[in-house]
Amino acid sequence: MTDTSTPSGGAPHDGLRHAIAGVSVADLAARHGTPLYVYDAECIRRRCRDLTRPRGDDAWDTVRFAQKACSNLAVLDLVRREGVMVDAVSTGEIRRALAAGYAPHAGRRGGDGLPPAHPIVYTADIFDRPSLDEVARHGIHVNCGSADMLEQLAERMPGAEVTLRVNPGFGHGHSQKTNTGGEGSKHGIWHESIPDVMRRAEAAGLMVTGLHMHIGSGTDLAHLAEVAGTLERVARDIGRSLDTVSAGGGLPVPYRPGEVHADLGGYVALWNATRRRLEEAFGHRIRLEIEPGRYLTAESGYLVTEVRAVKMQGSRKYLLVDAGFNTLARPVMYGAYHPMTLCPGPGSPSAARSREEVAVGGPLCESGDIFTQTDGGFVATRDLPSARVGDLLVIEIAGAYGFVMASNYNSKPLPAEVLVDGGRDRLVRARQTPEDLFRGETV
Ligand code: LLP
């Protein structure tokens, strides 16, 4: 299922990038320093609208952003203004959603007979104690990934409505680490346990109104499409109390040259047909949700770094930049591929450059700190315009699972984040200071 009519974001073919959303990369680096995450607001809006606008007769009623992909408040505010709801997996993510202006509860049922959409849903396989307190304090809707959560919730929110996250017995992801279905995954309630879990929910006095499946991240539509059939079967077992079904997340984005966007029209049509059959079976309207993370923000994000050393190790050339896996963990965790481009630094010739095969690494004291590696940790090289110290290397399609997975390893401060909108750049998260690094520590 591919849709070649939607152009992929794609890095410039000559490998040189001078601007991000109309703002000079060199100016961004000069104003905000490097390493720097830059997000293109218009790109995020476009991706939201891909999903919020109906396609013919088919439409998602709710697009719910899996904020774990990119949870900066400015990004949450932006997607909220696009009518996108939000998922939260922790107390911190609930606080972020509230701080970005999301209401804790659903409003009233609309005239269309659809149940109201929950602005925030807490989705997890456990409640840690603070998250249970937070959910109960604000009356947040919960998507339960284990039966134990039901009794814990019932004690604090008697009579609550809940969603069940079901593990359909199969899954798929871009890496085994992002496959969230099947016996190899800890996620969700095993599909065969649903009758038992329904009895537990009823005994606890909870009403099961939602059903959710998420088989993995970075998968493809062929695998995602298999979910609809299983969800329909489980929904019929649960019965008429259901008023919402969620297809989960996992929509792919093109990272590599030549990859294209998936056929979202075909995907929503498939789910809409499932929803219609359930509506007929239950005799009432069913809300249809999708829960993407990566799709909404990946292509909007750029990690701007500075080349600080160029050296030969035997016959292999290395560019060492000022960002490492502390800044962007995906290559070291999954062997993930990110396009890279070069922006000539101040005083560096900006005309066409020769190209060369280089390995790109960061400053950390581990050999694994390499952005050009394949799954399994093997160092690979990339064909890039030849670079010198002071040039800026831009790591692209870094707006999902980029900043949010950054760490303070090697006592490196978290980078700054900037949102570019209407040709203007705005700092939306200040770079950490060295003092931030040991705040709360004592001797
Ligand atoms: N819903 C649930 C319940 C999830 O666990 C996830 C992702 C999503 C939705 C959103 O999936 P997406 O649409 O973004 O594929 N760190 C990895 C990805 C881990 C995803 C975890 N869950 C990476 O960098 O690829």
What is the DSSP secondary-structure string of 7-33? Answer: ------TTSB--EETTEEHHHHHHHH-
Q: Is 395 left (phi over 0), alpha (psi -120 to 50) or beta?
A: beta
Mean pLDDT of 408-437: 98
CA–CA distance, 124 with 186 (Å, rounded to integer): 11
At 327, the pLDDT band (50, 70, 90 cuts) reads very high
Contact 357, 383 (CB under 8 A): yes
pLDDT digits 0-9 by tens, 246-290: 999 999 999 999 999 999 999 999 999 999 999 999 999 999 999
If one residue of 68, 144, 245 were mutated to test the ligand 1 pocket, choosing by the most ligand atoms within 8 A of its CB, it would be 68
Report the alpha-carbon distance of residue 118 to residue 108 in Å, rounded: 10
Q: Is the CB of 217 under 6 A from ligand 1?
A: yes
User: Nearest-CA neighbor of 359 among 389, 325, 321?
Assistant: 321
Whether the CB-CB separation of 301 and 401 falls below 8 Å is answered with: no
Q: Which of 70-79, 314-323, 355-364, 372-381 has the lowest mean pLDDT?
A: 372-381
Enzyme catalytic residues: 365
Going from the Cα of 249 to the center of ligand 1, the distance in angstroms, rounded, reads 7
CA distances from 334 to 15, 154, 181, 321, 375 (A): 24, 38, 18, 20, 6
Residue 367 gets the label, from left (phi > 0), alpha (psi -120 to 50) or beta, of alpha
Q: Is the CB of 102 under 6 A from ligand 1?
A: no
Output phi, psi for 385, to 5 deg.
-60, 145
Q: Is the CB of 307 under 6 A from ligand 1?
A: no
Q: How far is the CA of 60 from the centre of ligand 1 (A)?
A: 19
Among 87, 123, 217, residue to substitute to test ligand 1 (most atoms within 8 Å of Cβ): 217
Ligand 1 atom closest to the CA of 293, numbered from 1 = 14
Altogether, the residues listed in the chain come to a count of 443
Residues 85 and 288 sit within 8 Å (Cβ to Cβ): no
Check residue 370 and give its pLDDT. 98
pLDDT for 110 = 64
Ligand 1 pocket residue status of 178, Cβ below 6 Å: yes
Burial 102-124 (b: 16+ CB within 10 A, else e): bebebeeeeeeebbebbbbbbbb
Query: Minimum mean pLDDT among 87-91, 125-129, 371-375: which range?
Result: 371-375
Per-residue pLDDT at 10: 66
Q: What is the pLDDT of residue 326?
A: 98
Structure tokens at 216: 């993995």
Using a pLDDT cut of 70, give the percent of the chain over it.
96
pLDDT at 6 over 60: no
Q: How far is the CA of 281 from the centre of ligand 1 (A)?
A: 31
Distance 179 CA to ligand 1 centre (A): 9
- Nearest ligand 1 atom to the CA of 294 is 14
What distance in Å separates the CA atoms of residue 36 and residue 309, rounded to the nearest whole number?
A: 18
Which residue's CA lies nearest to atom 1 of ligand 1? 249
| Ligand 1 contact, 401 CB (< 6 A) | yes
Cβ contact 322:33 at 8 Å? no
Q: Are strands 36-40 and 301-313 parallel, antiparallel or unpaired?
A: antiparallel
Grade residue 8 by pLDDT with cuts at 50, 70 and 90.
Answer: very low
- Using CA positions, which residue lies closest to atom 8 of ligand 1? 249
pLDDT tens sequence across 14-23: 899 999 999 9
- The backbone region for 253, taken as left when phi is positive above 0, alpha when psi lies in -120 to 50, beta otherwise, is beta
163 in contact with ligand 1, CB cutoff 6 A? no
349 φ/ψ angles, rounded to the nearest 5 degrees: -60, 135
What confidence category does residue 238 fall into, taking pLDDT thresholds of 50, 70 and 90? very high
Burial code (b: 16+ CB inside 10 Å, e: under 16) for 69-78 equals bbbbebbbeb
pTM: 0.96
Asked whether the predicted pLDDT for residue 1 surpasses 80, the reply is: no
Cβ burial 249-261 (10 Å sphere, 16+ → b, else e): bbbbbbbeeeeeb
pLDDT for 177 = 84
List the structure tokens of 439. 């705040």
What is the overall mean pLDDT for the chain?
94
Atom of ligand 1 nearest to the CA of 165: 3
Q: Is the pLDDT of residue 418 over 90?
A: yes
Residue 2: the pLDDT is 41
The H-assigned helical ranges of 100-243 are 129-138, 148-156, 194-203, 221-238
CA distance 335 to 379: 10
Instruction: Enter the tokens of residue 64.
Output: 């719910």
